[in-house]
Amino acid sequence: MTGSRPPAVRLRHLAAPLFALTVTLAAASPAGASTGHPTPTIVDTARGHGTVVSYTFDDGPNPVDTPRLLAVLRARHVRAVFCVQGDHAREYPALVRRIAAEGHLLCNHSLKHDDLGTWTVDQIRADLLATNAAIRAAVPHAHIPYFRAPFGSWGATPEVAAGLGMQPLGWRLAITDWEPPGTDELVRRLMDGITPGAVVLMHDGGGDRSQTVEAVNRTIPLLRAAGYRFTLPARGH
């Protein structure tokens, strides 16, 4: 079939590359471009006012579900935060590069997902620096604005992370997707548990996350229909 696309189709056709350019430029922004300065306060709120929400994903990347999740976020025009494990960044550097190139923010989630809650300041600093080095081996000069403690076991990590330029990132809603209960149940937990300003904790690594990916795909349009806007987490108080 020949001929030009109808106007609406042409607009959609042009929107994808324009969005890709926008998020790529955002990923390349220098560290100083972020608003606010890191503090030891654990933030669990999304930027902006009213019905805003932030999606965050832990324990990746993994070669099966992270690409599927990135495709969903790209199609839905949502930016998210990926809390990356250093050992996974070493194993799958191309996926870390893709996360950054598609405009998402990177978060330090420790080197091996150890419980850092009882570690000394020096031990924590060494782990966080090693994790940042693993991420930057994949994405040189990467901006890593957040740190999230494995298991939410914070100990002395907030002070160390802030000293290294990373805001401690918590959450208001965890849908317990590390024990996959079925996509319908994940959608229900998210829709029932969401509150304005929430940072939502989900996972793209640590196991089969196909249910999470589908729940993300289904809830984005539902939340938008309910008046929600997708933003990034706050940066200090």
Q: Own/partner pairs for 162-167, CB < 8 Å, 24+ apart?
A: 162/38, 162/39, 162/40, 163/125, 164/125, 164/128, 164/129, 164/132, 165/31, 165/38, 166/38, 166/107, 166/108, 166/128, 167/36, 167/38, 167/39, 167/43, 167/233, 167/234, 167/235, 167/236
* AA letter at 228: Y
Has 177 been annotated as catalytic? no
Q: And the tokens for 15?
A: 């929107």
Catalytic residue among 88, 109, 143, 203: 203
Catalytic residue among 58, 65, 127, 177: 58
DSSP string, 2-71: -SPPPHHHHHHHHHHHHHHHHHHHHHT--GGGSSS---SS-B-BBSSSSSEEEEEEEEE--TTHHHHHHH
Has 88 been annotated as catalytic? no
Residues 6+ apart with CB under 8 A from 159: 40, 121
Characterize 132-142 residue by residue with b for buried, 16 or more Cβ atoms within 10 angstroms of its Cβ, and e for exposed.
bebbbebbeeb
Q: Which residues are catalytic?
A: 58, 203
